[in-house]
Amino acid sequence: MGASLKDVARLAGVSVKTVSNVVNEYQHVSEATRSRVQEAIDQLGYRPNLTARHLRYGRSGIIGLALPELGIPYFAELAEEIIGAAERESWSVLIDQTDGRGDRERLTSSGARSRTIDGLIISPLTLDAEYLAGLRADLPLVLLGEQVGPGTADLVAIDNVTAAREATEHLLGLGRRRVAAIGDQRVSPGGTATLRLQGYREALAAAGVEYDPELVVPAESYHRPDGAAAMRLLLSLADPPDAVLCFNDLLALGALRTLLAAGLRVPADVAIVGVDDIEDGRFSTPTLTTIAPDKTQIAEAAVTMLLERVNGLATPPRSVTARHTLLVRESTHLRGLAQE
């Protein structure tokens, strides 16, 4: 049987109420007393009853996380970061997979799929500003990645325009002029794919390279087979590309497989850049140059913003732009020297 509040109080030489005040992080406790109680907690291995603590404030202690697809490594890696960030704040995470379907996103964001969550972090693909404006006010919401209209909800994302521009500039800086893009989508006007296409086009324009729509290949989903098929289409062109920006790493890995199967050398014949910095790209052959979002910052910002809303913060919707880094690996670097 685990240690109790009474056990901690007895060892620390204080009252049970004082131990409770320390555990619940009340401010009016001296540092000397707080330190003595914490030493007793550590020595006894006492674990506070977090469920009781949350219920005392009328909460479940659970936040929701809704992602399009856990089979995409980026979302799985991000989920792990969010679970860790929530755990450090003594909260649990309930994960829901929406498959990018409008009906599932609406059910989840309305709270209808689970009445037990105190707030929701969601990466939406179909929700619009009008729908979000009509959601129940008692379910705090933080959006990941997709800006669903200006000022609709708190948002955490990287600067997708700048990220794609930097990736394209890197390819152009290698002397490549037939730079293709794989992953265009028209699902959402303000969506990630649209923003990355904008950054790609801005880089071409700045370098004086004419935009060629033939070099932009859409992808219905962002999986390896989609990247492989798109690359086959690009290789069938009369004047195929000498570089490719893929809108996520899975597309890039699929494209890489097609290039190698065709007997082409990467990056000597075709250079490739992805986005997401998933673990697979660090072990592919060649390793994958990529835009690496700061997943830890994204997770911590999303959890912090959500819990602030849960605790009653009433301000206009906020936006956090997370850091990103271009990691140069073997798919664009002839010597294969990673810059990490």
What's the whole-model pTM score? 0.81
| CA dist., res. 132 & res. 78, Å (int) | 23
CATH classification of the domain holding 299: 3.40.50.2300
Q: What is the pLDDT at residue 301?
A: 97
Q: What pLDDT score does 340 carry? A: 46
Helix and strand element counts for the chain (H, E): 12, 12
Same domain, 199 and 108: no
**Domain co-membership, 245 together with 302:** no
Per-residue model confidence (pLDDT) at position 308: 93
In the chain, which residues have pLDDT < 70? 1-2, 20, 24-27, 48-59, 111-115, 136, 149-151, 187-190, 334-340
166 and 149 assigned to the same domain: no
Q: Using only the alpha carbons of the chain, give its radius of gyration.
A: 24
Q: What angle do CA 301, 303, 306 make, to 5 degrees?
A: 105
Looking at the structure, do residues 76 and 187 belong to the same domain, yes or no? Answer: no
Specify the amino acid at residue 163: A
Q: How far apart are CA 173 and CA 180, in angstroms?
A: 15
Indicate the number of domains in the chain.
3
In a domain, 329, yes or no: no
Query: What pLDDT score does 205 carry?
Result: 98
Q: Does residue 248 belong to any structural domain of this protein?
A: yes
Q: Specify the pLDDT at position 54.
A: 47
- pLDDT, tens digit, 9 for 90 and up, residues 38-64: 888 888 777 765 545 544 555 578 999
**pLDDT tens by residue, 285-318:** 999 999 999 999 999 999 999 999 998 888 999 9
57 occurs within a structural domain: no
Cβ–Cβ < 8 Å for 317, 154: yes
Residue 80 confidence (pLDDT):
96
Per the structure, the complete domain to which residue 79 belongs is given by 62-158+295-323
